[in-house]
Structure 1
Amino acid sequence: MSMRLIWSLCARDYEKLCPRGWEDADDGQTCHAPATYKGPCGRSGIFLYMSPDAKKKLETDCEVRWPCQSVCNHDYTQLCPQGWIDIGGGKCRAPAAYMARCSREFTFALLNEVQKQHWSASCSVHWPCVSECERDYLANCPMGWTDLMNGTCVAPPSYTKCKSEEPLALLKPALKMAFAKRCDVLYPCKSTCDKDYSFVCPRNWPLADDLASCKPPPSYFGECGDENYDLFAATVEDKKEFESKCGVQWPCKLTCSRDYTSKCPVGWSIGADGISCHAPSSYRGRCARAVSFASVEEKRAFASKCADVFWPCEHEAALQHMMVKPVAVEVTPSGFLLPRVRSVAENVIGGGPVRSDTGQFVISRG
């Protein structure tokens, strides 16, 4: 179907001030034609007080078209039609541009969904579309914008509504919401995925310099931005409570089939012996930093117990094997020599290889 035919068939949105392609002069009443306009009428006009019938006539006389109404499921749980103002008492007031035959003030709280649908058809209004998701105004930038990681967001080349470069990441959520409405941008949907609470820190929160706590990012403006938080010992319920209190989210679970045939977890190195796995220097988890695995079952048990340890996804396994590098480890025929052997009772994080099935250190007997 051609665009010309689509435009001829669609239901027009005469609540819009300007014809399609014309620019609002930001005075609430005047519209300016685009440079491409070749019609018989002037290149600017005041459309504020035009009725839908007058706009229909103007379409024919001036060879313009008003935008099509949004094709969507309308949200009749909203009190007011699109563009109308809630003035209290269940009543809404029409915008200044509304010139249809119905009352400019009406108590919509008295109407059910079917009655609102009839009112919409009879009075040339429509209700807002059902929101496809709850928008995440904690995100640094709108969808399609580039985050320069210094607080600045840059619009795609095709964007022309507002300035193409704005310090949006530094704004509070309420200001981001206002910007989205004023400048016709969308922030990403809030995640409805299963959260991965095995991560120590919330999404976008880095480890602090002490590597022992989580640090609020510069773009965070919630209640919990004044200090760092030690979340290493936090339970899943603790983290959920932290989400609710501080307005943060944990990352989504990675949905993939883990490849437990891979020798080591993601980011861990294979020892010089070709058997043991060694954690990266940044690892702050609760399990030992060096461990050997005798079976797939041991690897599964270790991943389950240690929380912050993951095997690669099946499609990432080849890459994982390419990335790991051997490290020098002194080996004896019966085990590993440790710099200092501590008892399990000392509750040490790390200290040497352990058996993943028992949690005991593998200690050389000489």
Structure 2
Amino acid sequence: MAVPYENPIAAANVSLVFNRPLRSDPATEALRLALLGVAAVHESFQMGRGGASPGASVNMMHLAQAYRGESTKWLTAACSTADGVQSDAALSASITIALIDIFTGGHRWQKNMNVAKGLVQSRGGPGAMLAQRVASRPGTVIGTSRAKLLLEILAVYDTFGSLATGREPTILGTGSVDWWHDDTLVKSHVEIVFGISRTLVPLLAQVVASVARALSGKAHILELPDDVASGADPTSECTLLYNDLDNWAPPPSEGIPARVQTGNMIYVNTAKIILLRDVGQVPPTDPIVQRCAETILALCLRCAENKLSVDLNWPVIIAASHAFGACRRQVLDLFEAFRAQCCYEIDTSEQIVLEVWKRLDQNHPGADWRSVMKDLNLDVLIL
């Protein structure tokens, strides 16, 4: 949870888990076991910190993986029935399994994420799910409110999974996203869960999609903005997205949490680096890239000092991949601070950054995080 003053994920899932007798419903059982798996991963990581209980940590990790395996079996059973496919518990179980995968380091996540996306499509897609207008009591996360929360989490996971793989997002990257912008029915939980404004997420998905097209050679005209490269085509996709990032502002409202304001600045600068490096092919020493990276690391450090460091791994990976000299010590301190709130995804993040630094120092041609992930077969989902 990025802003720890309420926990909508717990509120949404607890009512589902205790709504049915034990093992009476496959979807509910899958969710119960997945939640136990998340708890076990947390416990394993905390036991292993500092090497105090390595044996107990390993045993707890084995338990977490066992819960994941059992949850997947029950979820498969749920997906074989009409009621199971339509169940919020089934969708929540698949999303919770994804959380286990994130916390265990981000591996072997794609098959389960495809199940989650398939469940959404089987229910007619996000718009149809929210159009059902299932009753939601004020102050609760049930009915339409729960469906919206699950869709929001899935969309964010899909966006960052696509960032890592270099593919276009499928939840927010294609088709209509009117459902995302409709806040008239029930409130969004994006700010609380992920620490950024809801309206920024589609723009981030557009950046990820644009980069994916550039990496695959499907893009047509991709130029840098005028203040980065002279003669840039002002109508190009990259220019428009870069300008959108420059001009983006959260909708006017009172009481935006400091973590959300900071998170917005962190992710805007992260998206700029992605465009500059992946599309513009500018070097890591480029002054604009360096300014963005310094801003990201400084703001992430502020979040870590306030124990609000959830879901900031990608900004740190991308910014730290452009760090030189004494700045690298700050990055290592940042990773250590993150370990107070996160799990094994920190180890994966640090592994990527350390390999990038090694390659930069050796003038290796693949001294960037994408090349490192490809070479080390790190197809991971982390946030």
The structure richer in strand per residue is 1
State TM-score, norm by structure 2.
0.23
The structure richer in helix per residue is 2
Could you say which structure has the greater relative contact order, defined with CA pairs below 8 angstroms and 6 or more residues apart? 2
State TM-score, norm by structure 1.
0.23
